[in-house]
Amino acid sequence: MTGMPRVFVRGPLQTGHTLALDGESARHVQVLRLQPGMQLVLFNGEGGSYLTQILHMGRQQVDVTVLSFTPDVLTPACRTQLVVGMPANERMDWLVEKATELGVSRITPLMTQRTVLKLQGDRALKRQQHWLGIAQSACAQSGRNRLPQIDVPAPWAQWWSQHDRASHDHHILLSLHSNAKHWRDWWSSPPTSLCVLSGPEGGLSEEEEGLAMRQGFMPVSLGSNTLRAETAPLVVLSQLL
């Protein structure tokens, strides 16, 4: 199925069933100018992909039949959660897109002391849905079949009250402190489960870094260069996954 068009759909998929695509999924097929009889790959973000054949093209609906299922062969070597002080606007969009392509398991956006963008209520929910759309497109492009979990943006204190330390084997804090070890020097073998905490533009405050370290996060350095807020966590992902 290499090189075949890939389209994300919501809901269950099953071999042998006929499925009506509508909304964004149908529009995507129409934009690709596919025709009845042609094949495409569907995935629902839960793992694996489905080879389908187009039966009918309508103005608002596309009917397909599901021919076969292909399970995932490769999975990321490390289950990784990024907990990030939100960079502003398109920088966060870019981080979600690239982190998804690299295989991140979960992205948790935080509002810290230096976060420029503050989101609450419906605005926070709409932004989460926006990021999920970006992640779906990134999965379709990259060949990834499992959609990462993307959380609703949360205040700093709220996240700490809910964080489960046992959910990951290792926790690191990306830090500019001079006493921080290089991030690849703090383990004897690559981790299988990792939580990465990273700040927004301007970084985390000393108070926030202190709290993270008291909660068991190991301060680590990415080297002498000061990287942008959206770049730093991707360096870790690219070398891990």
pTM tops 0.75: yes
Q: What is the 3-state secondary structure (H, E, C) of the chain?
A: CCCCCEEECCCCCCCCCEEEEEHHHHHHHHHCCCCCCCEEEEECCECCEEEEEEEEECCCEEEEEEEEEECCCCCCCCEEEEEEECCCCHHHHHHHHHHHHHCCCEEEEEECCCCCCCCCHHHHHHHHHHHHHHHHHHHHHHCCCECCEECCCEEHHHHHHHCCHHHCCEEEEECCCCCCEEHHHCCCCCCCEEEEEECCCCCCCHHHHHHHHHCCCEEEECCCCCCCCCCHHHHHHHHHC
> What's the number of CA atoms in the CB half-sphere (13 Å) around residue 90?
0
The separation between the first and the last C-alpha atoms of the chain, rounded to the nearest angstrom, is 23
CA distance 125 to 139: 21
Which tokens belong to 106?
Answer: 């979960």
pLDDT at 89 (0 to 100): 76
For 69, residues 6+ apart whose C-beta sits below 8 A from its C-beta are 13, 15, 48, 49, 50, 51
Low-confidence spans in the chain with pLDDT less than 50:
none
Residues 74-122: tens digit of each pLDDT? 777 889 999 999 998 789 999 999 999 999 999 999 999 999 888 888 9
Rounded to an integer, what distance in angstroms lies between the CA atom of residue 50 and that of residue 29? 15
Full set of structural domains in the chain with CATH? 6-70 (2.40.240.20), 79-240 (3.40.1280.10)
> CA 53, CA 170: separation in Å to the nearest integer?
44
Tokens (6 digits) for 149: 């979990």
